[in-house]
Amino acid sequence: MRYRYTVIIDKERCKGCGICISFCPRGVFEFEDYLNEGGHHPVRLTGNECIGCRACVIMCPDIALELIREEIDESTYAR
């Protein structure tokens, strides 16, 4: 079974501390240009592939990240 991982970011909970940027081994995060309601630059996804290690979810002090795992339909690769 193969999986695709996606991180959901709560942009208003994020305090822009950058811990997820430091810990992500795949460079999945970068800062937004705008400020959120709390006056922080939240993070956004870069488009780099998430490997589902959960380091960002575990380390985020503001519980702003959620990891979604989806099964990949391998039959689409077999054709």
* Binding region for ligand SF4 (CB under 6 A): 5, 7, 14-20, 23-26, 28, 43, 50-56, 60, 62, 64-65, 67
Residue 33 has a CB neighbour count (10 Å cut-off) of: 7
CB nearer to ligand SF4: pick between 4 and 18: 18
Distance CA 16, CA 14 (A): 6
- Least gap, CB of 25 to ligand SF4 (angstroms): 6
- Least gap, CB of 64 to ligand SF4 (angstroms): 4
- Least gap, CB of 13 to ligand SF4 (angstroms): 7
Of 1, 17, 4, 14, the closest CA to residue 67 belongs to 4
Distance CA 29, CA 4 (A): 17
